[in-house]
Amino acid sequence: MKTKITILIITIIIGLTSCNKNDDELNLVEFTQIGQNNLYGNGEENIIKQDLVISESNSWNELIGKMNTVNYVSDEFTETDIDFANFIVIAVFDKIYGNGGHSIDIIKIRENENKVIITIENILGGDATSIMTQPFHIVKIPKTDKLIIFE
Q: Is residue 17 part of a domain?
A: no
Backbone angles phi, psi at 10, to 5 degrees: -65, -40
pLDDT digits (tens, 9 = 90+) for 21-60: 455 689 999 999 999 999 999 999 999 999 999 999 999 9
Q: Is residue 142 part of a domain?
A: yes
Q: Is residue 63 part of a domain?
A: yes
Q: Is residue 37 part of a domain?
A: yes
* Domain boundaries, position 79: 22-150
Give the number of other Cβ atoms within 10 Å of residue 140's Cβ. Answer: 22
pLDDT digits (tens, 9 = 90+) for 56-84: 999 999 999 999 999 999 999 999 999 99
What's the Cα-to-Cα distance from 74 to each of 40, 55, 78, 107, rounded to whole Å? 13, 18, 9, 21
Q: Is residue 112 part of a domain?
A: yes
Number of domains the chain is built from:
1
pLDDT digits (tens, 9 = 90+) for 110-147: 999 999 999 999 987 766 667 899 999 999 999 999 99
151/145 Cα distance (integer angstroms): 19
68/79 Cα distance (integer angstroms): 15
Q: Is residue 6 part of a domain?
A: no
In the chain, the percentage of residues whose pLDDT exceeds 70 is: 81
Q: Is residue 141 part of a domain?
A: yes
Q: Is residue 114 part of a domain?
A: yes
